[in-house]
Amino acid sequence: MATRPAPAAAHIDHAADVGEVYVPATARAAVDRLRRSGEVHVWWWPLGEATDPADFVLLDDQERARMRRFHAARDAAAFTRTRAGARRAVSELLGVPVDAVRFGRRICPGCGDPDHGPPAVVRPPVPLAVSLSRTDGCGVLAVRAGDWVGVDVEAYRPMESEALAQLVLTPDEAGQVLALPEGPARTALFHRAWTRKEAVVKAVGLGLLGMPLNTLDVRPAAGGPLTVTHVHEGRTTTWHVQDLDLDGPWSASLARPSAADPLGPVRLHPPS
């Protein structure tokens, strides 16, 4: 029997004020609206080659330290833009100043480690599920009220080998993809499968430790939305998965609990 995903506790990172418990009225009202509507908000933005100083100033100390560890300037810029874009989006959603938003992590639902669980909004301390993803040229954020959400985006690239298909796809999925001749249709189908799977494993909160991608069936030849089953250590959860149209050379997918009540619409914000 499929079950609801279990909630995960939020872990406040070391830079956050552990003693902070105040939640602005605007933030409480925003989360309440999201809970009642079941909406998911998705923001996306283009990524540039160089770090924008206006983005850099929005990062906290830990994020700046992480940004400086990237060897390539383009990767540092992508990380900075994605974190800054996420902070601006959550600020807008909750009606609080940008500098009042702080990100941390949830405690890993698999092992209880506070350092590698799913991302979380820890200030203001509100019950929001968030997921971030970035790829060549694009960053994405998904937010909903509750505990679990997953989003993934991948830039279209030709599938380099059948070995990659076997690593990512189930045998049935590989048959569907490899039956197509090399070209845009095969590339699109492969990436639809990939992003659907990544969205699910991110929503579960276990990543690739939970269920190998080549055992997770997401029926890429079928149009969405669809229900996907995830199994880990005898525990089965089901996920509502749908594709996102970002109007560019990317494949993107969103996953949330199929038992969400209500299962509201997805609000896709235009790039800023």
Higher pLDDT, residue 147 or 78: 78
CA distances from 109 to 207, 223, 238 (A): 10, 30, 16
Whether 184 is covered by a domain: the verdict is yes
Q: Among the listed ranges 1-15, 163-177, 241-255, which one has the minimum average pLDDT value?
A: 1-15
Q: What is the pLDDT of residue 111?
A: 60
Q: What is the pLDDT of residue 208?
A: 65
CA separation for the pair 79, 67 (Å, rounded): 7
Question: Reading across the β-sheet that carries 226-232, which strands appear in turn?
Answer: 150-155, 250-257, 235-244, 226-232
- Report the domain count for the chain: 1
Helices 61-68 and 73-94, packing angle to 10 deg: 160
Q: How many CB atoms lie within 10 A of CB 157?
A: 12
Among the listed residues 199, 176, 198, 200, the one whose alpha carbon sits nearest the alpha carbon of residue 188: 176
Residues in the chain: 272
Per-residue pLDDT tens over the stretch 62-118: 999 999 999 999 999 999 999 999 999 999 999 999 999 999 988 766 666 666 678
Asked if pLDDT for residue 129 goes beyond 90, the answer is yes
Whether 4 is covered by a domain: the verdict is no
Among the listed residues 42, 32, 18, the one whose alpha carbon sits nearest the alpha carbon of residue 94: 32
- Collapse the DSSP code of 154 into the 3-class scheme (helix H, G, I; strand E, B; otherwise coil) and give the result: strand
Whether 3 is covered by a domain: the verdict is no
> What whole-number percentage of the chain has pLDDT above 70?
88
> What whole-number percentage of the chain has pLDDT above 90?
74
DSSP 41-73: EEEEEE--SS--HHHHTTS-HHHHHHHHT-SSH
Whether 214 is covered by a domain: the verdict is yes
> pTM, whole model, 2 decimals?
0.89
- Tell me phi and psi for residue 228, to 5 degrees: -120, 135
Per-residue pLDDT tens over the stretch 222-237: 987 999 999 988 889 9
> Left (φ > 0), alpha (ψ -120 to 50) or beta: where does 229 sit?
beta
Mean pLDDT of the chain: 89
CA separation for the pair 209, 212 (Å, rounded): 7
DSSP bridge partners of 105 = 11, 119
Structural domain span for residue 256: 10-268
CA separation for the pair 99, 87 (Å, rounded): 8
CA separation for the pair 231, 237 (Å, rounded): 7
The CATH number assigned to the domain holding 89 equals: 3.90.470.20
Whether 1 is covered by a domain: the verdict is no
- Strands 102-106 and 138-145 come out as unpaired
- Average pLDDT over every residue of 195-215: 87
Whether 5 is covered by a domain: the verdict is no
